[in-house]
Amino acid sequence: MTVFRNYTKSLVISSAKIAKTAFSFGLSFLPGSSSDSRTSRPPVPFESGLAPEEADEAAYNGGLDSLDPYESVLGGNGAGVSDQTAAEPAAAPSAPSRLGGRMEELRFTRLNEAATLPTRAHDSDAGLDLYAAEGARIGPGQRVSVGTGLAVAVPEGLAGLVLPRSGLALKHGVTLVNSPGLIDPGYRGEVRVVLLNTDGTAEFRIAPGDRVAQLILVPIAHARPNEADSLESTARGESGFGSTG
């Protein structure tokens, strides 16, 4: 009976050692795993100065807690590496990028009860549709300023460009005189659209709520004018209008 007990004890201790070694070896291949991330534990008997045989005996008599591979590698609470990593402070969010596709906040105020906030026909569209807040009649060849009833705060570092709508241009010959119209970040007045009827015979009418233009945001670079004695020569030189055919 004593021989069988000793054999069983030796088998259990050896199995626990093998499990501990294998588990530690496998954990070393996990991303982000290191000895620093392991939960500290009280020293096992061998670490306290006992001989290996005495340490095995003490571990067996103590319920093999010190040879538990899960306890020694992951900690007595069973928390894995991923749990410990999750407890670390989260990295500070990066600053919003104006060119990385993230949505910019564009604040509008209504100056007219008939004003309509800009919309997109599709989520991926670059332009926001601008709506008329007042009616207008544009005779053949005439131009009219149409108010949107909105003021906008374009974010610093960006510029607002007001562009014609392709549907109005194709179907009615209506476009913008000053295309593109520029909205600076510091402007707080009403956004108005200067429409031109290029049709030679037909009048075009605008009703409140009609889409009359579109607004896009673009990044800008601030340049400081500097007078120079000369400019670098180029292959094109002074060739201008019509120089390329």
Q: Check pLDDT > 90 for residue 52.
A: no
Cα gap 50→65, rounded to integer Å: 16
Domain ranges of the chain: 2-79, 107-219
Instruction: Name the pLDDT band for 243 (thresholds 50, 70, 90).
Output: confident
- Looking at domain 107-219, its CATH superfamily turns out to be Deoxyuridine triphosphatase (dUTPase) (2.70.40.10)
Specify whether the CB–CB gap between 132 and 147 falls below 8 A: yes
* Packed helices 2-27 and 52-61: angle between N→C axes, nearest 10 degrees: 100
pLDDT value of residue 112: 93
Q: 152-181 burial string, b = 16+ CB within 10 Å, else e?
A: bbbeeebbbbbbbbeebeeebbbbbeeebb
- Give the position of tokens 């949107």: 148
pLDDT, residue 186, reads: 96
Q: What is the pLDDT of residues 222-234, one digit of tens each?
A: 999 999 999 999 9
* Cα–Cα distance, 226 to 36 (Å, whole number): 57
Give the model's pLDDT for residue 19: 59
Average pLDDT over residues 16-33: 56
Which helix H or strand E contains 55, and what residues bound it? helix 52-61
- Segment 166-193, tens digit of pLDDT: 999 999 999 999 999 999 999 999 999 9
